[in-house]
């Protein structure tokens, strides 16, 4: 009996040791992916949009892999099925019709920030196979964060070269001013949240800015070259990183999540977005008075309220 149980335990562990990919309904719908996979608490999303080929976006499960994320949304410059070690087909090629000049700007902002002798050692000539997921949102507090991983098939071959695949998380809205494009209702531009932690000036994450070859920021790099039977195609990827920003609660913001091949249309790169991590701290209310919630007037930026009774009068405690 013990031997049978031990075998079943090993079998169950192994059955969850490979990444799984799903781009069938409902995971072929960007609105569903945003509202039911990506979003956590404290966020109200609207105006969902996706540009790119349907093969470039979907759901992933990665329990017990080295990815560090259990599940979420994955986007790619190619066919996301390439990540599945059990996939026996040939990854398709996107239509390559989407444009985003900001990605080219981001890609070419990296070389001047690299250490010698790699400083200004290359120029990305174009961005291709672009996929863009974007939406408006309102937060319940003054901060926003989400977890992600970036990976690529180009690791160990094309670092510090013109084939510098790139991605960006472009945030715009009240109180934000940046060099990248933004919707007309946010005239001050957007900032890129996909940067190496603690870098100053901000260094965008690409294969040339996080790797073990140069090496540069190798503490954020995971070598997957011996793990392609678990997560195929991605020879390397970052550790789990967190994009974060200060916002004004109750105000409308816009996020544009975009990824592209640099200078060519071959060898895919990927960005994984952790399920439920796109969130803002949730307001916690303890109602000891039994007040009808429809008449409570709770301001933004208040993480915890307690309505309670003390002696002959009542008071409101704010944390």
State the pLDDT confidence band at 318, using cuts at 50, 70 and 90. Answer: very low
From the list 299, 293, 292, 294, the residue with the least C-alpha distance to 318 is 299
The pLDDT value given to residue 17:
82
DSSP letter, residue 239: P
Instruction: In whole angstroms, give the CA distance from residue 151 to residue 233.
Output: 9
pLDDT surpassing 90 at residue 284:
no
Taking residues 286-314, what's their average pLDDT?
Answer: 50
The pLDDT value given to residue 306:
44
Instruction: In whole angstroms, give the CA distance from residue 222 to residue 219.
Output: 8
The overall average pLDDT reported for the chain is: 88
pLDDT surpassing 90 at residue 90:
no
State the pLDDT confidence band at 50, using cuts at 50, 70 and 90. Answer: very high
The pLDDT value given to residue 266:
85
Three-class secondary structure of residue 91 per DSSP: coil
State the pLDDT confidence band at 287, using cuts at 50, 70 and 90. Answer: low
From the list 304, 285, 298, 279, the residue with the least C-alpha distance to 143 is 279
Range 85-89 contact pairs with CB under 8 angstroms and sequence separation of 24 or more: 85/18, 85/19, 85/228, 85/229, 85/230, 85/231, 85/232, 86/18, 87/21, 87/232
The pLDDT value given to residue 88:
83
Residue 106: φ, ψ to 5°: -60, -45
DSSP assignment of 227-250 equals -TTTS-S-SEEEPPEEEEEE--TT
What are 185-219's pLDDT values in tens digits? 999 999 999 999 999 999 999 999 999 999 999 99
> Over pLDDT 90: what percentage of the chain?
79
Determine which of 95-104, 262-271, 281-290 has the lowest per-residue pLDDT on average: 281-290
- Note whether 211 and 150 are within 8 A (CB): no
The pLDDT value given to residue 215:
96
Residue 170: φ, ψ to 5°: -95, 110
From the list 33, 56, 22, the residue with the least C-alpha distance to 261 is 56
Strand order in the sheet with 252-262: 43-51, 127-139, 252-262, 166-172, 191-192
pLDDT surpassing 70 at residue 310:
no
CA angle 226, 24, 138 (to 5 degrees): 95
DSSP letter, residue 131: E
- Domain boundaries along the sequence of the chain: 2-274, 284-318
Which H/E stretch holds residue 232? none
pLDDT surpassing 80 at residue 309:
no
Taking residues 59-71, what's their average pLDDT?
Answer: 97
Residue matched to tokens 């105006």 = 47
Instruction: In whole angstroms, give the CA distance from residue 254 to residue 132.
Output: 13
Query: Rg of the chain's alpha carbons, rounded to an integer?
Result: 22
> 20 - beta bridge partners?
61
pLDDT surpassing 60 at residue 293:
no
The pLDDT value given to residue 289:
57
pLDDT surpassing 90 at residue 10:
no
State the pLDDT confidence band at 8, using cuts at 50, 70 and 90. Answer: very low
Instruction: In whole angstroms, give the CA distance from residue 49 to residue 244.
Output: 22
The pLDDT value given to residue 5:
38
What are 100-134's pLDDT values in tens digits? 999 999 999 999 999 999 999 999 999 999 999 99
The pLDDT value given to residue 115:
94
- Note whether 132 and 52 are within 8 A (CB): yes
pLDDT surpassing 80 at residue 69:
yes
The pLDDT value given to residue 308:
45
- Note whether 308 and 314 are within 8 A (CB): yes
- Note whether 163 and 206 are within 8 A (CB): no
pLDDT surpassing 90 at residue 294:
no
Residue matched to tokens 């499960």 = 61
pTM (two decimals): 0.87
Three-class secondary structure of residue 112 per DSSP: helix
State the pLDDT confidence band at 66, using cuts at 50, 70 and 90. Answer: very high
Instruction: In whole angstroms, give the CA distance from residue 190 to residue 192.
Output: 7
The pLDDT value given to residue 283:
65
């Amino acid at each position: 009996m013990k031997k049978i149980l031990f075998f079943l335990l090993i079998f169950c562990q192994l059955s969850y040791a490979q990444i799984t990919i799903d781009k069938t309904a409902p995971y072929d719908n960007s609105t569903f992916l945003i509202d039911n996979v990506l979003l956590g608490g404290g966020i109200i999303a609207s105006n969902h949009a996706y540009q790119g080929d349907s093969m470039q976006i979907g759901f992933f499960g990665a329990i017990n892999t080295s990815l560090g994320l259990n599940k979420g949304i994955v986007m790619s410059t190619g066919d996301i099925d390439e990540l599945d070690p059990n996939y026996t087909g040939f990854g398709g090629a996107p239509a390559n019709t989407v444009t985003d000049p900001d990605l080219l700007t981001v890609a070419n902002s990296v070389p001047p920030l690299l250490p010698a002798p790699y400083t200004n050692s290359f120029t990305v000539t174009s961005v291709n196979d672009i996929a863009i997921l974007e939406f408006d949102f309102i937060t319940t507090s003054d901060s926003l964060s989400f977890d992600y991983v970036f990976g690529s098939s180009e690791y160990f071959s094309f670092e510090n070269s013109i084939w510098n695949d790139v991605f960006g998380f472009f945030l715009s809205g009240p109180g934000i001013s940046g060099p990248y494009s933004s919707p007309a209702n946010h005239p001050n531009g957007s900032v890129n949240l996909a940067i190496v932690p603690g870098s100053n000036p901000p260094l965008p994450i690409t294969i040339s800015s996080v790797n073990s070859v140069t090496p540069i920021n190798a503490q954020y790099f995971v070598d997957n070259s011996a793990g392609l039977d678990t997560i195929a195609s991605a020879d390397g990827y970052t550790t789990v990183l967190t994009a974060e920003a200060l916002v004004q609660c109750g105000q409308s913001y816009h996020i544009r999540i975009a990824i592209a091949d640099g200078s060519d249309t071959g060898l895919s790169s990927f960005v994984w977005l952790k399920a439920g991590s796109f969130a803002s701290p949730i307001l916690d209310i303890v109602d000891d008075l039994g007040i009808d919630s429809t008449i409570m007037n709770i301001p933004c930026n208040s993480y915890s309220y307690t309505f309670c009774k003390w002696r002959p009068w009542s008071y409101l405690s704010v944390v």
